Amino acid sequence: MSATPTVTATAVTRADFFAPTIGKRLAYVGVLAYVVYAAATLGLSLERVQAGLGHGARFLAGFFPPNFTETDIIPGLLESLQIALLSSLIGTALAIPIAVLAARNMMPAAVSSAARLLIAFCRSFHPVIVAIIAVKAVGFGALAGIIALTFASIGFVGKLLAEAIEEISKKQIEAVRATGASFMSVIAFGVVPQVMNRFIGFVAYETDSNLRNSTMVGVVGAGGIGGTLFSAFQRFDYAFVAGIIICIIGLVMIGEVLQIYVKRVFR
Amino acid sequence: MSTLSIKHLVKEYVPGKPVLKDISLDIEGRGITAIIGPSGTGKSTLIRCVNRLIDPTAGEIWFEGKDLATLSGQPLREARRRIGMVFQEYNLVERLTVMENVLSGRLGYMGAWAAWRRKFSDADIQKAFSLLQRVGLADFANRRADELSGGQRQRVGIARAVMQSPGLLLADEPTSSLDPKTSVEIMEIMRDLAADNNIPVMINIHQVELGKRYAERIIGMSGGLVVYDGAPDGLDGEVLRKIYGGQDWLAT
């Protein structure tokens, strides 16, 4: 038996491991200062909030009783639903290959950077802005709405799916590659099983989000119930506005329930 | 002619700092060849260079009439499907069933479109099921791989490798994550399946005793070089000191 060498304990204190960081403190102070500055320059004041509450109350009073009798609610809602489903489907179909190209563990840096740029481009504009451009390009109607929401879907599903692919276990991929499988077979047996669950979640969320957005792109003339809603606003027909809003809430809730059901079927 | 012939293999992850320095080996016939050596000496790198999961820096790897070191694309995949590999952490695709994992050994022989639709031939499915029976997991065929214990997973891993109809089996520390009893069972399955298929096995192993018990030949590596190559009987204290360094750990 050899003797264990004696180790002299070194004296340490809390500060050796949890030293306060100047940078973090400066960041807190900076954020606080900016909030105060922003509120001051935008002229926010309590009086304005008080006056606004009064207007709001009169406006809400105009909602009652809601008016459902107008006949263009149902066709508008159906058009919104179609815009949402079609754009989700087309957007997801386009997002899948782009996501594979964007995943840095699947592709060389040059390819993934280019695909990432495309995804970032799709994500940089709000769907309504894309809808305005699409209306200019293809005219009023549902097609413009589908283009706008497809664009958004590519960005959303593409980004999240690319990140999901980057987080998969390399070991499982290595084993499938070692069998002599081709790239597409590695995707089928190594990548898809690892991301499928999350992918279904992304698509369900995206469809849900498209359903909400599809009720809005109509405001700029890109089809769906939004156009009806906007013209009711402009006529100060608040009872009809209330009717439309309640129908939209109903539609989104039905979508929510369907989403739970669809997830259960696919998992 | 030997099954696998490695000539002057060098691998540098960082230029000028070789992990493998000029390795030359011939593996032939059948039976287990065990590679022992301390962690970080390049055993895994050597095994992974053979099926090109890692690209060697220099040297030749001759297998079935081709120099694997020069292949890429389709020819590389065709060479790879003839080399089965068993991993330390099993590397099963966790969310696939046991049956799908075993059948994935056939991916090198079929197109991607058939793979997507799981269009395996009846002969492949029969073979996969027979292999599962052979390793005692037929009842688990439809279970998901992540429901299995370590020893069960490694049996599936071996079945997947044999499913490739390989001409050579590689195993990278197949027992290092397993308890001693399961380790012995896994070694026996590998030895028996290799004997059935008449193929040699090249295996990295940390448990020297296990290696001596099952291998017909031991290769000792140290510092990226082969320092011992011979029968298990020749592994005495002096040789082990040469491979692992020091001597305190050898005291009984």
pLDDT 10s digits, B74-127: 999 999 999 999 999 999 999 999 999 999 999 999 999 999 999 999 999 999
Token digits of residue B221 = 């590596």
pLDDT at A50: 84
A183, A184, A190 ranked by CB distance to B93: nearest: A190
A171, A180, A194 ranked by CB distance to B108: nearest: A180
Name the DSSP class of B165: -
> Cis peptide leading into A65, omega within 30 of 0?
yes
Residue B120 to residues B42, B141, B166: CA-CA distances in angstroms? 37, 15, 18
A187 contacts in B (CB within 8 Å)? 112
Between CA B155 and CA B78 the distance in angstroms is 24
Token digits of residue A47 = 């009086």
A193 contacts in B (CB within 8 Å)? 93-96
Between CA A259 and CA A75 the distance in angstroms is 22
* A5 — pLDDT class (breaks 50, 70, 90): low
* 8 Å CB contact between A251 and A210: no
Give the pLDDT confidence of A59-115 residue by residue, as tens digits: 888 888 888 776 778 888 889 999 999 999 999 999 999 999 999 999 999 999 999
Between CA B10 and CA B241 the distance in angstroms is 24
**Mean pLDDT calculated for residue range A194-201:** 91
pLDDT at A1: 46
Question: In DSSP terms, which residues pair with B170 in a beta bridge?
Answer: B85, B202
B82 contacts in A (CB within 8 Å)? 180
Sheet of strand B83-86: strand arrangement: B83-86, B168-172, B200-204, B31-36, B217-222, B225-230
Between CA A212 and CA A228 the distance in angstroms is 15
Ramachandran angles phi, psi of A62, nearest 5°: -65, -15
Residue-wise burial string across B208-231, b where 16 or more C-beta atoms lie within 10 A, e elsewhere? bebbbebbebbbbbbebebebbee
pLDDT at A69: 74
For A17-170, list the strands marked E by DSSP: none
Residue of A nearest to B92 (CA): A172
Q: How far is B95 from chain A (nearest CA, A)?
A: 6
Q: Which residues of B have a CB under 8 Å from any CB of A?
A: 51, 53, 77-83, 85, 87, 89, 91-96, 100, 104-113, 115-116, 157, 160, 164, 248
pLDDT at B158: 96
Q: How far is A156 from chain B (nearest CA, A)?
A: 25
Token digits of residue B190 = 């590998």
* Cβ count within 10 A of residue A57: 9
* 8 Å CB contact between B4 and B210: no
Cβ contact, residue pair A179, B110, below 8 Å: no
Token digits of residue B96 = 């696939």
Question: What pairing do the DSSP bridges indicate for beta strands B17-27 and B31-36?
Answer: unpaired
B91, B107, B116 ranked by CB distance to A180: nearest: B107
Name the DSSP class of B97: B
Q: How far is B105 from chain A (nearest CA, A)?
A: 6
Residue A3 has pLDDT above 60, yes or no: no
Ramachandran angles phi, psi of B156, nearest 5°: -65, -40
Residue A204 has pLDDT above 90, yes or no: no
* 8 Å CB contact between A95 and A153: yes
Residue-wise burial string across A5-42, b where 16 or more C-beta atoms lie within 10 A, e elsewhere? eeeeeeeeeeeeeeeeeeeeeeeeeeeeeeeeeeeeee
Token digits of residue B21 = 């320095």
State the ipTM, two decimals: 0.92
Report how far Cα B69 is from the mean position of its chain's Cα atoms: 18
Residue A248 has pLDDT above 70, yes or no: yes
Q: Is the pTM of this model over 0.90?
A: no
* 8 Å CB contact between B26 and B229: no
Beta-carbon contacts of A261 under 8 Å, excluding residues fewer than 6 positions away, are none
Between CA B182 and CA B10 the distance in angstroms is 34
Q: If we measure between CA atoms, which residue out of B172, B34, B174, B93 comes closest to residue A186?
A: B93
Residue A130 has pLDDT above 60, yes or no: yes
Cβ contact, residue pair B95, A179, below 8 Å: no
Token digits of residue A46 = 């309590």
* 8 Å CB contact between B177 and B7: no
A2 or A172: which carries more pLDDT confidence? A172
Question: In DSSP terms, which residues pair with B14 in a beta bridge?
Answer: B17
Q: How far is A33 from chain B (nearest CA, A)?
A: 49
pLDDT at B30: 82
Q: How far is B156 from chain A (nearest CA, A)?
A: 12
pLDDT at B77: 94
Cβ contact, residue pair B116, A184, below 8 Å: yes
Cβ contact, residue pair B92, A172, below 8 Å: yes
**Mean pLDDT calculated for residue range A15-27:** 84
Q: If we measure between CA atoms, which residue out of A124, A121, A140 comes closest to residue A132?
A: A140
Q: Residues in chain B with pLDDT < 50?
A: none
Mean pLDDT, chain A, integer: 88
User: At B201, which helix (H) or strand (E)?
Assistant: strand B200-204
